[in-house]
Amino acid sequence: MDFSGVFPALTTPFAADGSVSLSDLKHNILLYNKTDLAGYVALGSTGESVLLTQTEMEGVLITVKENAAKEKKLIAGCGAESTAATIERVKRAAEIGYHVALVKTPYYYKPIYKAEAQIAHFRRVADASPIPVMLYSVPIFTGVALDPSDVATLSEHPNIMGIKDSSGNIPALAEMIAITPPGFQILVGSAATVYPSLTIGARGAILALACALPEKCAALYQLYRHGQLELAREMQNVLVRASKTFMSEMGIAGIKFVMDQRGYSGGDPRLPLLPLEEWHKKRIIGVLASVEPAAVGACSS
């Protein structure tokens, strides 16, 4: 199965009482179904998965699966700190009907986890998983980056199909692409690197920004695919600016606020993530106004 294209790292909407709002999540999915997004990633970092209970995670997985359009590819965030807990999550995701399990590096005991520990962990998970495993390296949150040579080692496992590399480290990405087999699917995780990553052989991207600006993110990929490189570069520039403000500066609360402005259900994040202050919102609205007019139109809802 080919995972080329752009996937949103879905946010998790919360109701006024702080509980997960599955109806708001459904609302978002139904809107995204109308776009060129290649599929969905449930329970990624942007989904505040580390702040959810097991029951809440189950609800999110089922809701996304039930409401996704048939052609959308489904990726479930399954990473847990222990190998056993990760395997449990991977199996449950497979039962619900996900196509791929996204498994992040264990990270708490980072000075103790040498490369052998990471490799052994991923092999055990991949051995036990009913569905293909996508590695997930996200050092900005975990403090752990998978080394290209370790990714190459893991790419030989028949049930490891690719990686989401959110490092933003293009020299390492270039090396990874050069030393893994052509069938190993590499996606990136930061909006600011999508276009240059595509040009060196990445398949696509999993983006927080695609929750708020799905058409533009998907359009960047389509422009690239159809050889409209000048337009692709312009769109990339737009997304760089948007991503800097909405995500790098404001975090998940920023992405959710932009979603609210554009007809999606965003809302506040869960504590200890703080809601935005008024000046944050004003700043976002200003940047959004400068970004909106770019090539692809507003949300079709």
18 near its own copies, rule: CB under 8 A: yes
Q: Residue holding tokens 């990714």?
A: 151
50 near its own copies, rule: CB under 8 A: yes
DSSP letter string, 150-163: HHHHHTTSTTEEEE
Q: How far apart are CA 242 and CA 209, in angstroms?
A: 8
* 60 to 99: interface string for its own copies, x by CB under 8 A: ---------------------xxxxx--------------
Residue from 15, 30, 229, 285 touching its own copies (CB under 8 A): that is 229
Restricting to residues 248-267, name those near its own copies by CB under 8 A.
248, 251-252
Which is the catalytic residue, given 164, 216, 256, 281?
Answer: 164
Q: Which amino acid is at 65?
A: K
Residue from 236, 246, 259, 284 touching its own copies (CB under 8 A): that is 236
* Closest CB to its own copies among residues 71, 116: 116
* Closest CB to its own copies among residues 66, 277: 277
Q: What are phi and psi of 31, to 5 degrees?
A: -70, -45
**Helix axes 278-291 and 251-261, enclosed angle (nearest 10):** 60
Say which residues have a Cβ less than 8 Å from residue 295's Cβ, sequence separation at least 6. 216, 219, 231, 234, 235, 238
174 near its own copies, rule: CB under 8 A: yes
Q: How far apart are CA 264 and CA 27, in angstroms?
A: 7
* Whether residue 114 lies in the annotated active site: no
The distance in angstroms from the start CA to the end CA of the chain is 30
Binding site for its own copies (CB under 8 A): 18, 45, 50-53, 81-85, 106, 108-113, 116-118, 120-121, 124, 140-143, 168-171, 174-175, 177-179, 190, 192-193, 195-197, 199-201, 229, 233, 236-237, 240-241, 244, 248, 251-252, 270-274
Residues with active-site annotation? 164
